[in-house]
Amino acid sequence: MLATIEFIATLSAALFAGAAIYINVAEHPARMMLDTRNAALQWAPSYKRATWMQAPLAIVSFAAGVTAWLLGGGVLWLVAALLIGAVVPITFIVIMPTNNRLLATGRDLASQETRQLLEHWGKLHGIRTLLSAVAAFLMVLRLSAT
């Protein structure tokens, strides 16, 4: 059972990290090559769709990682679980204010402020990318050691 839980934690973290890396390396830079209005128009549905994929992956990975630790998998599972789990409160506390400003009704999507918010969002999303990549790396490391 422990091996299955560890696999679920690792797979979920790796899928989250892969999606996050893709967003920071490919999608957001490509979006930012558009004019500001079109970049903002593309960002909104992309953000909403990604939420439905990434949030469950982070939660599942966190829960499975903590469970692996509780079942005796070792403290590295707890550390990795806390890293991937941290993306949820970071999203709500740090990134959500920017999201809400970008999604505000009546926002001038072509404005310089919108451009700055999109640029800022990309940097904030990098935090999620880094945390999830480190968590996935630690989980793969631990999984390969058993």
C-alpha separations of 67 from 75, 91, 108, 131 in Å = 11, 23, 46, 19
pLDDT at 60: 98
Least confident of 12-16, 115-119, 139-143: 139-143
| pTM for the full predicted model | 0.94
Contact 13, 136 (CB under 8 A): yes
120-129 per-position pLDDT tens digit: 999 999 999 9
Work out the number of other CB atoms within 10 angstroms of the CB of residue 39. 20
Collect contacts of 50-53 with beta carbons under 8 A, ≥24 apart: 50/19, 50/23, 53/19
Residue (of 51, 122, 123, 43) closest to 88 by Cα position: 51
Q: Residue 106, SS3? A: coil
pLDDT at 145: 82
